[in-house]
Structure 1
Amino acid sequence: MRPTRLIAACVAAGLTLLTGCSAATNDGGKGGGDLTYMTFETPNLNAQFWDTSISEAEKQAPGASVKKIVAPGTDRDAYAKQLLASGQFPDLLQSITPSTFAQNGLLKPYDKNWVNANFLMPMGNAYKGEVYVPPTNSQIIPEVFYNKKLFAQAGITAPPKTWSEFMAVCAKLKAAGITPIELGGGDPFSASMPLVGILSADVLGKNPHWLQDRYAGKTKFTDANVEAAVAKYRTMVKEGYFEDGALGVKYADSITNFTSGKTAMYMMGSWFLGSVPKDHADDFGAFLTPTDDGSLVVPFSVGGSMAISAKTADPAKATAFAQAWSTNPANLKTLIEGDGALPLLKNKTLADYNVNVSQVYKDSYTYVTDQNTKVPAFGWVTNDDAMPSGLNDAFYSASQALFTSDDIHGQLAKLDAAWDKAAK
């Protein structure tokens, strides 16, 4: 699934799951109730998942009775705005972008003592010092997934650690007649993944505050270090390291191409872990976008569960329900196994979620639990490092354009202009 800024995912968070979204319904198939809860449905997070999770949370929140509202499509923010305009803003909202609503005083922040007591990264998705969505889970956006058998076929014995080694691996795969990298370029968000990885590693890895500095006018997309990072992507394209016709490959097809062995590597958010074939999961590994000096930079995005409306008539019941739902390991089990979510509940191991996950999932989770350099995944976070409204789409468009254009400066200048206009 591609997280729409994550339940994570659900962040967040993904098209494999989201293409099955149902139409909106006022009762959502879950009885009446004094609290309304906007959710969404996908093949993995289906009606049964939501109904069960709601019932379990109701048991832990005495007196709370919840009515489910199912959002249509993938844009929960847009649907929440529609409900707001019609005077039906829900008491609880799943997987929205907090800043979109908090800046207008529409969301109630969570108690920080409760957040600190229950989550590994309490302020991981905080907005202007407040937590509006419990930081229940996370994604790495992207990882570089690879096919171990195709690496071995090309005589590659280990994943690359530096950018020069990465380019050498690509060249060796191509020389062996193997397409080095899969790119679902037909879907804008998917087309951006190589740039997300490179910019996170090279730009944010050296200045984790680059996005906040961009708001302050201290940095620009046309700065030399940004243009140098983007030039790496152009090199990958011009060297023929992506498949033929990559801009026409849809996201869903890119998953199939990679898992069926047509390509050796795939730069994608960690939600891909939910798509790793169970019958040959050991054929796949993952590493981070390499840096010039081999240092590890984790492009990280903290996601979460539900926001609480500041307009709710019963904030005590809404809060009790939201806290119960957000700390139930059974809810995260579905997200871990089906969507590759990386959990952030405190004092829990993977065994506590009763999950069956692959070795590549376990290896990926160590990036979360280890002490390392974590930076905001470029264009994917919902905290203070989020880009202005509309910039994500502009960034995706630039990613597609840069697949065929050498005008790096021109494309990045367009992003600067779009940023300046959106940030006013």
Structure 2
Amino acid sequence: MRSLEPTPRSASTARHGLSRRGFLAATSAAGLGAAALTACGSDDSGGKDSSGRTVVEWWNITTGDPGKSIWAARAKEFEKQNPHVRIKPVVLENDAYKTKMTALISSGKLPDIFHTWGGGVLGQQVEAGLVEDLTESAADVTGGMMAAAKKPYELDGRTYAVPFDIGAVGFWYNKKLFAQAGIDAPPTTWAAYLDAVRALKDADITPIALAGKEKWTGMYYWSYLAMRIAGLDQMRQAAESKDFTGDDFVKAGEHLKELVDLKPFQKGFLGAAYSTPTGQAATVGNAKAAMELMGQWAPTVESDQGKGIGEDLGFFQFPAVDGGKGALTEVFGGGGGHALRKGAPKEALEFVKFFAAAEFDRKLVKETGLIPVVTAAADALSDPNLKQVSDALNGSTGFQLYLDQDYPPAVGQEINDSTGALIAGSKSPADVAKSITQVFKSQ
């Protein structure tokens, strides 16, 4: 599952709205029909069908309802208003999508419209001349969108995709378990966070659920600590110089090791997946752990895989680190967007803009749990925890895309793997910084 966007999400992971790092309820690849796979990259893409209609091929990863049905209905609405156009959805599970896209990138031919997470992979596609520049042509819709939602698709001041989803990572916690441990309010500093972990352990409550088998879940901790200690400017400088061996990045690992040394995770966490009946989300959803560090899709997956904890569920942002250069208002997250292949028919752009309309974003918010990307649709968000996430994004003073999307795929893989090794006890904080730098410099 490393072919494009390097995040090792489980095929069943729901992230980016119903789902990290963009799944609206993915199903297993085995459930895909052969027709869906063989349809990819078909010859009529961007051409005409037997009825003379312009065919627009649209690849997306929305494999589960309600999203799948809502998206299909939107395509039909567009066709009704534009009878000369046929929107041809190709719906793929996340892993299958990445595999097929890798092959198409090698051939130099992408679908007319395709899902993107932005960051390093989109940058490689742009550099290869495969993606349409939408800076001016989509400005009438992107101008009304949240700044953080647009950032992952902006490269050198130009825009290469139109977002439909945005979110942020933070701590989802059980208010009842916190109260049982005598924790009156969510911690706002790392020192207070460690104290909260100790208090939970003293109360015989498992503090944190972690899917150690899927190393991206541990990557969130190192990434946020690096942000809080080094600050976003130094993060950018490190990426530009391909050097993460500075003291602040080693300190990020040291602080993570402080947490790991407290043994805060559930029993068997190193073999646990994220989205399974015994995984990270279910452990929190069944009130067997007090919290998890996860994206805005967490409540849905907790309820899907566990019982869910209803009104006992709360959200707080990743704490500040004393002496750190980063701010609580700097957010770590990502989303999903639609990009166009270079030379896509004009009808492809028209559909992407139709999909991005405020009234449809409002429908997605109400019916699928997405956080609105269009500012005019903000009134559709009613969930109090998701409102906190949305407010954090709207009030953010800086936004960092998931590192395993922002950086080249091999680097993202190494960050995930090295962080996982640190959590497992087989790498030191200095080893992590050194390994990331070595892989980055090899790119």
What's the TM-score, normalizing by structure 1? 0.84
CA RMSD, aligned part only? 3.2
Secondary structure of 1:242's counterpart equals: coil
Structure 2: 5+ residue runs without aligned partners?
1-8, 41-47
Amino acid in structure 1 at the alignment position of 2:130: L
Identity of aligned residues (%): 22
Residue 17 of structure 2 contacts residue 296 of structure 2 at CA under 8 Å; is this kept in 1? no
Residue 244 of structure 2 contacts residue 437 of structure 2 at CA under 8 Å; is this kept in 1? yes
1:136 equivalent in alignment to 2:164: yes
Question: Which aligned pairs between 1:46-57 and structure 2 lie closer than 5 A?
Answer: 47-57=68-78
Structure 1: 5+ residue runs without aligned partners?
none
1:225 equivalent in alignment to 2:255: no
Query: Match for residue 326 of structure 1?
Result: 356
**1:161-214: per-residue Cα shift (whole Å, max 9, x none)?**
1111111111110001001111111112123222232223222xx2x1334312
In 1, the alpha carbon distance for the partners of 2:141 and 2:302 equals 32
**1:245-283: per-residue Cα shift (whole Å, max 9, x none)?**
211111111100011000011111222143354974210
* Aligned CA distance change for structure 1 residues 332 and 12 (closer, same or farther; 3 Å): farther
Amino acid in structure 2 at the alignment position of 1:251: Y
Query: Match for residue 340 of structure 2?
Result: 308
1:275 equivalent in alignment to 2:301: yes
In 1, the alpha carbon distance for the partners of 2:144 and 2:102 equals 30
Post-superposition shift, 1:308? Answer: 1.0
Secondary structure of 1:13's counterpart equals: coil
Amino acid in structure 2 at the alignment position of 1:239: L
In 1, the alpha carbon distance for the partners of 2:375 and 2:411 equals 33
* Aligned CA distance change for structure 1 residues 304 and 223 (closer, same or farther; 3 Å): same
In 2, the alpha carbon distance for the partners of 1:363 and 1:133 equals 26
Bigger mean CA offset, 87-96 vs 227-236: 87-96
Secondary structure of 2:158's counterpart equals: coil
1:258 equivalent in alignment to 2:284: yes
Amino acid in structure 2 at the alignment position of 1:299: V
1:362 equivalent in alignment to 2:387: yes
* Aligned CA distance change for structure 1 residues 45 and 89 (closer, same or farther; 3 Å): farther
Residue 58 of structure 1 contacts residue 321 of structure 1 at CA under 8 Å; is this kept in 2? no
Residue 35 of structure 1 contacts residue 65 of structure 1 at CA under 8 Å; is this kept in 2? yes
In 1, the alpha carbon distance for the partners of 2:256 and 2:204 equals 21
1:237 equivalent in alignment to 2:247: no
1:94 equivalent in alignment to 2:115: yes
Post-superposition shift, 1:411? Answer: 2.6
Post-superposition shift, 1:298? Answer: 3.5
Counterpart selection for 1:284 from 304, 313, 316: 313
Counterpart selection for 1:296 from 311, 321, 328: 328
Amino acid in structure 1 at the alignment position of 2:360: A
* Aligned CA distance change for structure 1 residues 183 and 390 (closer, same or farther; 3 Å): same
**1:117-171: per-residue Cα shift (whole Å, max 9, x none)?**
331227522122221111333111x201110010111111111111111111111
Bigger mean CA offset, 303-312 vs 156-165: 303-312
Question: Which aligned pairs between 1:175-214 and structure 2 lie closer than 5 A?
Answer: 175-203=202-230, 206=231, 208-214=232-238
Residue 60 of structure 1 contacts residue 321 of structure 1 at CA under 8 Å; is this kept in 2? no
Secondary structure of 2:340's counterpart equals: strand
Query: Match for residue 393 of structure 1?
Result: 413
Number of aligned residue pairs: 403
In 2, the alpha carbon distance for the partners of 1:405 and 1:84 equals 36
Post-superposition shift, 1:103? Answer: 1.1
Post-superposition shift, 1:285? Answer: 0.7
Post-superposition shift, 1:228? Answer: 0.9
In 2, the alpha carbon distance for the partners of 1:78 and 1:270 equals 26
In 1, the alpha carbon distance for the partners of 2:32 and 2:387 equals 32
**1:93-138: per-residue Cα shift (whole Å, max 9, x none)?**
1235422311111111114332453312275221222211113331
Amino acid in structure 2 at the alignment position of 1:68: P
Secondary structure of 2:207's counterpart equals: strand
* Aligned CA distance change for structure 1 residues 179 and 16 (closer, same or farther; 3 Å): farther
* Aligned CA distance change for structure 1 residues 215 and 189 (closer, same or farther; 3 Å): closer
Residue 358 of structure 2 contacts residue 377 of structure 2 at CA under 8 Å; is this kept in 1? no
Secondary structure of 1:418's counterpart equals: helix
Secondary structure of 1:197's counterpart equals: helix
Query: Match for residue 65 of structure 1?
Result: 86
Query: Match for residue 413 of structure 1?
Result: 434
In 1, the alpha carbon distance for the partners of 2:281 and 2:308 equals 16
